[in-house]
Amino acid sequence: MIPTPGITPRRSCQMSLPTARVRAITFPPPPITAEPDSPEGAGLARLHLNEAPMGPSPKALAAAVAALAYAHRYPDHAASELIGRIAKATGIAADCISVGNGSGEILVALAQMVTDPGDEAVFPAPTFPTCGKGAQIAGGRLINVPLRADGVNDVPAMLDAITDRTRLFYLCTPNNPTGGILPAEDLALAAQKVPDDCLLVVDEAYFEFTTAQDGADALSILRNRTAPWVVTRSFSKAYCLAGLRAGYALCSSREICDALWTLRPNFNINRPALAAASAALADTEHLAAVLDHANTERARLSGSLRAQGCKLFPGATNFLTFQPTGNANAIAARLKEQDVVVQALPWPDADGSLRVTLGSREENDRFLALYASAVQDPA
């Protein structure tokens, strides 16, 4: 090639872009589902995303609308009002709290914060995959430990998987997608046994549902751990704000929290989301209504599915996971033909299981009626 005067020739690319590390990342993409207000989404029962069946708190909606008047201004990057409310509700100091564009963004950052290429991260399997994605982005190796038969994280087996390269130990309670809740003694065991040079992460996206049923108090247990830990929580589930994307992290120390703030993109939570999350946290009546609906519908669906011969896994979330009387993939496909979308899981055996969101009463009735026919004729 004859060089043009004054122009440096473009060098030949000796590597394939993107990098091999990025190409090697395994991560299930979020499902593409028709929007509820679109013609394609009309009549679609979205029972596969663990969304809230009711709208946000009216107070949260009003706060979000009011915040739109200042949409020409950047939001408060310090999230002062929201973090102040979280600190008051949890007893965690404000300088040990960080926020994110959903708790998923925080989980990715936590993994990046502690993982160097070649390091290891221990996860239950199956579980919520986002923290594992962060570990892979950082060049880490995932060590996946099968769940217990009841869908709960197998803490003793996960502890056995720790090596001198382990830098992240991830627990999810209740576990998504199975719903299993960690007993207090297992959480205490992890707090005691996970090494000091390893970050213990407890994902509590469904925290509010477990507190309504006397679940383990993670914060009181983790406060006895002298090594680093982080608890992540979300406004997407019990607070009905999945579309606004707001989550937070409760950290063991200011140093861990400062590192999260270093990794935060500027203004990563928009102004309406900050306002809505703050108002939602204060509206205890709306939260109680959400939890009451979930408990009522859980009991109703559980009874009906058991009567049809299904095996239900224990849990306290806004979804149910169960083994159907047939192949889960085939049943899910038949339901989708009838505009009822549920999540088929390749666990715990070849026939798999189904995860169904506790939707509105009408959606749940529709699911139960169509499920019965889908089982009889899954083809």
User: Distance from CA of residue 86 to its chain's centroid?
Assistant: 19
Task: Collect all residues with Cβ–Cβ distance below 8 Å to 170 and sequence separation of at least 6.
Answer: 121, 122, 123, 124, 127, 131, 132, 201, 203
Residues 313 and 272 in one domain: no
Residues 296 and 264 in one domain: no
Quote the CA–CA distance of 19 and 26 in Å, as a whole number: 14
Q: How many CB atoms lie within 10 A of CB 231?
A: 22
User: Per the domain annotation, does 18 fall within a domain?
Assistant: no
Is the Cβ–Cβ distance between 134 and 105 less than 8 Å?
Answer: no
374 burial (CB, 10 Å; 0-12 / 13-18 / 19+) is: buried
Q: Which domain covers residue 335, as residue numbers?
A: 45-50+285-376
Q: What is the pLDDT of residue 41?
A: 72
Residues 126 and 184 in one domain: yes
Q: Return the CA Rg of the chain.
A: 22
Residues 143 and 275 in one domain: yes
Tell me the average confidence (pLDDT) per consecutive run of 10 residues in the chain, 379 residues long: 64 72 85 78 89 96 98 96 97 97 97 96 97 96 97 98 98 97 96 97 96 79 95 98 97 96 94 98 97 96 96 95 96 95 97 97 96 77
Quote the CA–CA distance of 300 and 155 in Å, as a whole number: 31
Domain end point (choices 283, 301, 322): 283
Amino acid identity, position 8: T
Q: What is the CATH number of the domain that holds 222?
A: 3.40.640.10
User: Per the domain annotation, does 35 fall within a domain?
Assistant: no
Task: Collect all residues with Cβ–Cβ distance below 8 Å to 143 and sequence separation of at least 6.
Answer: 120, 121, 122, 123, 161, 166
Is the Cβ–Cβ distance between 111 and 121 less than 8 Å?
Answer: yes
User: Per the domain annotation, does 37 fall within a domain?
Assistant: no
Is the Cβ–Cβ distance between 316 and 210 less than 8 Å?
Answer: yes
Residues 279 and 344 in one domain: no
User: Per the domain annotation, does 74 fall within a domain?
Assistant: yes
pTM of the model: 0.93
Residues 305 and 225 in one domain: no
H-helix or E-strand spanning residue 323: strand 319-323
Q: Bridge partners of 249? A: 98, 232
Q: What is the CATH number of the domain that holds 344?
A: 3.90.1150.10
Longest dimension (CA), the chain: 81
User: Per the domain annotation, does 78 fall within a domain?
Assistant: yes
* Each residue's pLDDT tens digit, 7-25: 766 665 566 788 888 888 8
Residues 248 and 318 in one domain: no
Domain count, the chain: 2
Q: 26 φ, ψ to 5°?
A: -105, 125
User: Per the domain annotation, does 75 fall within a domain?
Assistant: yes
Is the Cβ–Cβ distance between 329 and 291 less than 8 Å?
Answer: no
Residues 278 and 291 in one domain: no
Report the alpha-carbon angle 197-181-127, nearest 5.
65
Domain end point (choices 268, 283, 298): 283
Residues 186 and 319 in one domain: no
Q: 280 φ, ψ to 5°?
A: -65, -40
Residues 243 and 338 in one domain: no
Q: Bridge partners of 356? A: 320
Q: Where are the alpha helices (DSSP H) in the chain?
A: 20-23, 58-68, 80-90, 103-114, 130-137, 155-160, 184-193, 207-211, 218-222, 254-263, 271-282, 284-307, 328-337, 361-376
User: Per the domain annotation, does 181 fall within a domain?
Assistant: yes
User: Per the domain annotation, does 36 fall within a domain?
Assistant: no
Beta-strand relationship, 319-323 and 229-234: unpaired
Q: What is the pLDDT of residue 214?
A: 65
Residues 170 and 252 in one domain: yes
Residues 109 and 190 in one domain: yes
Q: What is the pLDDT of residue 213?
A: 67
Domain end point (choices 283, 298, 325): 283
